[in-house]
Amino acid sequence: MDFITGEIIGIDKPLGWTSFDAVKRIRGAIQRRLGVRKFKVGHAGTLDPLATGVLVICTGRATRRISALQEGMKEYVAEIRLGATTPSFDLETEIDATYPFAHVTPQLVLETLPRFTGRVMQVPPVFSAVKVDGKRAYSFARKGHDVELKPKELEIRELEMLGYDGASGRLTLRVLCSKGTYIRALARDLGAALGTGGHLTALRRTRVGDVTADTCWSIDEALRHIAEDPLTFPDE
């Protein structure tokens, strides 16, 4: 492995970890292997702690490619609960309202999904890292302050229903979208369009650009490769 010229490592981020947690572990392992106290490591596309799946980590000079890598399309498998909302649009916060959802059928979902494909405008969640007056929106939201965020244009290229359980209101979707798409916000907007509420209950990112989940290492596998694989250096 040539960490200095740069490696692009696909990690399957575990549930509960922040993206920074994963980067920190990888950076620490590389520093130990190279015997250095500092080393440049970054990631392309943040994943929330409640999400799992593809996290692209770049080392050394490959960190210069982060911006380009983030431009790649991202694919997710999302589980949405219809009939209830939360302030954060996911499980970070408790349910704040419930709504009838017995009228929602698979056919209604299929008829509604096209409204959310193509170039669309989306208002980011207030519990997000979007900056407002130089501060992250979540810092206001967690203090109970009202925050008004402007809608942003993005692309949802594909939106596929993988399953719907009418008894529980559990809807599973595959989403192929551009950077900047908040699947939590999609859950909110789709729930409203279906005449009920909705919030995200599980999220797995299965693709970032050309990096897919089936080619990713677990954290433990990545640490083992970093510790054991042969090293090469730019001047060799």
Structure-block tokens of residue 94? 């408790």
Largest CA distance in the chain: 66
Task: Report d(CA 98, CA 91) in Å as an integer.
Answer: 14
Exactly one of 12, 48, 90, 189 is catalytic; which is it?
Answer: 48
48 is catalytic: yes
Which residue blocks in the chain are alpha helix, DSSP H? 19-34, 66-70, 106-112, 137-141, 183-193, 219-228
Beta bridge partners, 119, equal 155
**CB-based contacts of 13: which residues, under 8 Å, 6+ apart?**
19, 22, 47, 51, 52, 53, 54, 55, 219
219-228 and 19-34 helices, crossing angle to 10°: 10
Catalytic amino acids?
Answer: 48
